[in-house]
Structure 1
Amino acid sequence: MARGSIVKRQSGNYAIVYYVDGKQKWETIGPSRREAERALTARKREVDTGTWREPSSETLAAYAKRWLAHRDPARVQSGRTRLAPSTFAEYRRALLGHVAPQLGERTLASLRTEDVDRLIAALEADGKAPGTVRNIVTPLRKMLADAVRQGKLVANPAASADLPPAQDFTGKEIPLEHTNAIRAALAELAPTDPLRNEPDLFSVCFFDVALGTGLRLGELRGLRWRDVDRDHRLIRVERAYSRRQLRQPKSEAGVRSVPLFPSVDAALRELAARAVERVPYGVRRSSAPDSRTSATGSTTSATPASRASSRQAPTSSSFRRSPATPAR
């Protein structure tokens, strides 16, 4: 059985010592003794089974380029990339734009947790927000996890990095005078409705829906008339329009219901009326738009100035980002 031991260096890091064909091998693991114990066990097993290989001398920059090429959705035909094009673009930007300039010349085998901690400290000193820092370290952690799986690393130095705490989003109420000013500006900029020869206030309706629901732009564009449940005063959010495609939410929390406030209901009714009004001549008109059509994004609708001014304005309770209602 292969021999080996664990040594604590003056820097506080732990190193493992083992023997291959009578030659002593040293590897510095990091500040965790538990990781050092796991690394020593793995190295001794490799020596005993004849699978031991010299630690990789490949630099992080070189490995990152290979890793990205392997994960690139544009080059992977089988769908095994497991990354959406937008996610891959963010990973590439993080690794090549932020990680490589700091750690790119280091070999994979020489990377330590303290190196990743220094990267995080540099990003914070550069003014990066906690969420941005976490988004930069996430692809680094995933990439180094693959390096561990492939036997290029004993342990993932980014796994226990000192990340900044995640910050919860805190919504703020928009003052009534601000929302009124926005609505007035949209009405003033409205083009002429060619069917009624009056201001086309579609943007005012869209603003009222966005304000009263708190939905993101892609979620607003993904709304369908069937998502509006007037019996229970709810709007169902089940999809979002992103990068020219309708997509399902990334998590279960993305599928939710939001309250249907009176201001939103009034705006949607105006949009529905205008959608029916714009049915091409010769096509049978129904009492409401088809439930499969978009409630906001694909219909160019407007409201007369008189009806826009008489419609109930959003209440202060609807100015906040609406809380999500658990899916039933």
Structure 2
Amino acid sequence: MSGTIKKRGGAWRLFVSGGSVNGKRIRHTETVQGSYQDARKRLSALESSVSSGRYIATGMQSLGQFWQNWFPAKRQSIRPMTASGYERLYKKHILPVLGKKKIQKITASEIQSILSDRVAAGNPATAAHILRVLRVAFKAALRQGQITVDPTAAVESPKSKRRELEILSPSEWRQVREYVGENESHFLTAFTVLITTGMRRSELSGLQWRDIDLERRLIHIRRSFLVIAGEQHYQDTKTDRSFRSIALDASTVQILREHFDSSVRLQGMFGRRIASDLPVFTLDGSTPVRPDTLTHAWKRVAKAFGLNVRLHDLRHSAATLMLAAGVPVGDVADRLGHATPAFTLTVYRHAIPGAQEAAAERLAAMLDPTSRGDGQALDKGLPSVPLAPILAP
């Protein structure tokens, strides 16, 4: 086995021969853009793969072929929902444009063009997701020696405007609760638990009766329930912080007691008893309610009220109202299952009333202590400014 490098214009031409694949002698030619060191690195990888019997004719491999070889293993190392999202974006946006193109010949400008089309169509978030998928794929190709330069490194990330959070005010929630009780009563308990705990819809769908301790007034979040490509999945919570216990208020405990009694009666009609592993929220008595079923029910409610509030915004409403009521950021982060209180503060900083005013007063006090009439107070640390509750009675 031997390999050589020759200069061809602004690129390097690699020639490798030796060994065999399927009885055919290997004669591989490849063009490498970049420096001589890049060419040497690629040649070394080729020589190593040929001598060890791991050679793949990457020069003839398309992105589609690489994806078929790489993604099945990648799927096993990521969450099912993430894998489903990767595959959906690849099939819809990447495969039709780049699938047949040789992986080594794909350029940053071609990738940028795909992203620009999505941005022009008003979908910058989709463009950002596409780039994320391509970066994961090309980094894998680089590690495997399939390519010498990652084209996504030169691609500008699309800028997407952060969606302004929409929340329900306490008075709006009371009106919605009354409407749901009269028109969508089967979902009243579910929606109530979502807004009083701030849990995710998939976490709610994943609740089993063994997760609820009504005596201690706690809900234990241990798993999520998802439907991916028509298949139902229980899976572990999103992060270690998502595995948590949430305290319940007296009103939510009462509505859950009533929901439990109703479930006992329903199971009794079929001669069954409530088992600890039965789902808390179900339409047929045995299968968890699907997250998208909850979303569709909420859309009907929102439409009836003319609200631009998504089901997930019940979680945002819970967080925003807790912070507005003066609940410490750390406690809010614990209830939501956020990785850190800093993340909670970044997302919901706007919800803390008087924060800007407090910052202005504290800075002024540092610059001119006499303006506060208490120049010594700063020596003992900045005084805290209490948060005024805004929740309506």
Question: TM range, normalised to the smaller chain?
Answer: 0.5 to 0.7
Change (3 A) 1:236 1:159: farther
Q: Deviations over 1:252-285 (max 9, x none)?
A: 2332333423332221122123334455389898
- The DSSP-based 3-state class of the residue aligned with 1:325 is helix
Displacement after TM superposition at 1:317 (Å): 11
Contact 2:32 2:148 in 1 (8 A): no
User: In structure 1, how many angstroms separate the alpha carbons of the residues matched to 2:222 and 2:46?
Assistant: 54
User: In structure 1, how many angstroms separate the alpha carbons of the residues matched to 2:220 and 2:118?
Assistant: 39
1:163 is the counterpart of 2:162: no
1:41 is the counterpart of 2:44: no
User: In structure 2, how many angstroms separate the alpha carbons of the residues matched to 1:169 and 1:127?
Assistant: 13
User: In structure 2, how many angstroms separate the alpha carbons of the residues matched to 1:95 and 1:144?
Assistant: 13
Displacement after TM superposition at 1:236 (Å): 1.9
Displacement after TM superposition at 1:41 (Å): 3.4
Change (3 A) 1:145 1:127: same
User: In structure 2, how many angstroms separate the alpha carbons of the residues matched to 1:189 and 1:246?
Assistant: 30
Contact 1:18 1:44 in 2 (8 A): no
User: In structure 2, how many angstroms separate the alpha carbons of the residues matched to 1:47 and 1:216?
Assistant: 48
Greater CA deviation, 48-57 or 134-143? 48-57
User: Residue 60 of structure 1 corresponds to which residue in structure 2?
Assistant: 63
1:124 aligns with one of 119, 122, 130: 119
Pairs within 5 Å for 1:25-104: 27-29=32-34, 36=35, 39-45=38-44, 51=50, 56-64=59-67, 66-67=68-69, 71=72, 81-82=76-77, 86-104=81-99
Change (3 A) 1:45 1:206: closer
User: Residue 307 of structure 2 corresponds to which residue in structure 1?
Assistant: none
1:109 is the counterpart of 2:112: no
Contact 2:198 2:318 in 1 (8 A): yes
Contact 1:140 1:158 in 2 (8 A): yes
Displacement after TM superposition at 1:173 (Å): 3.0
Pairs within 5 Å for 1:178-217: 178-189=172-183, 201-217=185-201
1:219 aligns with one of 203, 206, 212: 203
1:325 is the counterpart of 2:324: no
User: In structure 1, how many angstroms separate the alpha carbons of the residues matched to 2:213 and 2:49?
Assistant: 66
Displacement after TM superposition at 1:105 (Å): 4.8
Q: Deviations over 1:161-192 (max 9, x none)?
A: 432468888754302343233223223226xx
1:256 aligns with one of 228, 244, 258: 244
Q: Percent identity?
A: 20
Displacement after TM superposition at 1:42 (Å): 0.5
Aligned-residue RMSD, C-alpha: 4.5
Superposed structure 1 runs of 4+ greater than 6 Å apart: 1-7, 47-50, 52-55, 165-170, 281-285
Letter in 2 for 1:325: D
User: In structure 1, how many angstroms separate the alpha carbons of the residues matched to 2:41 and 2:94?
Assistant: 28
1:154 aligns with one of 148, 155, 162: 148
Contact 1:239 1:246 in 2 (8 A): yes
Displacement after TM superposition at 1:249 (Å): 2.0
Contact 1:234 1:260 in 2 (8 A): yes
Change (3 A) 1:170 1:215: farther
Q: Which runs of 5+ in 2 are unaligned?
A: 17-28, 286-313, 323-331, 338-393
Change (3 A) 1:101 1:169: same
Change (3 A) 1:47 1:249: closer
Alignment: residue pair count? 276
Letter in 2 for 1:249: T
Q: Deviations over 1:101-127 (max 9, x none)?
A: 333453222223343333323322222
Q: What TM-score do you get using the length of structure 1 for normalisation?
A: 0.63
Contact 2:212 2:218 in 1 (8 A): yes
1:176 aligns with one of 150, 170, 183: 170
Change (3 A) 1:259 1:282: closer
- The DSSP-based 3-state class of the residue aligned with 1:56 is helix
